[in-house]
């Protein structure tokens, strides 16, 4: 068997979708990295999109949920804080979360 590795790889459609949505925003927060790519993370930071580890760290503004989704408790906490929520969870990931309960 011969294995051929691609020289270039693009983003999966879920991450590309999340990135396209996030790039329309400014001055927002993501829970963790939106994408595991240093150049893109730098671009997002230039646009004012900052990574945080916890909803507790966000005083006000916009929270962007990454393509990998987040917990229900994070969503509830963000709603209680009055944050604007932009959910970029990949539809395939969202379906798995729904099936898992």
More confident site: 7 or 1: 1
Residue 22 included in any domain: yes
In the prediction, which pLDDT does 19 show? 93
* pTM of the full structure: 0.84
Residue 47 included in any domain: yes
Residue 55 included in any domain: yes
Residue 3 included in any domain: no
**Residue 83 pLDDT > 90, yes or no?**
yes
Domain harbouring 68, CATH code = 3.40.50.11270
Count of alpha carbons within 13 Å of 6, Cβ hemisphere only?
Answer: 3
pLDDT in tens, 15-52: 999 999 999 998 999 999 988 889 999 999 999 999 99
Q: Are 41 and 33 in contact (CB under 8 A)?
A: yes
In the prediction, which pLDDT does 84 show? 98
In the prediction, which pLDDT does 5 show? 83
């Amino acid at each position: 068997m011969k294995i051929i590795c691609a020289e270039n790889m693009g983003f999966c459609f879920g991450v590309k979708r999340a990135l396209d949505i996030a790039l329309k925003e400014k001055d927002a927060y993501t829970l963790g990295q939106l994408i595991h790519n240093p150049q893109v993370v730098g671009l997002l930071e230039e646009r004012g999109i900052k990574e945080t580890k916890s909803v507790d760290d966000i005083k006000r503004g916009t929270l962007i949920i990454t393509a990998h989704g987040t917990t229900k408790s994070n969503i509830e906490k963000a709603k209680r804080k009055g944050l604007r929520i932009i959910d970029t969870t990949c539809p395939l990931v969202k379906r798995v979360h729904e099936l898992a309960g």
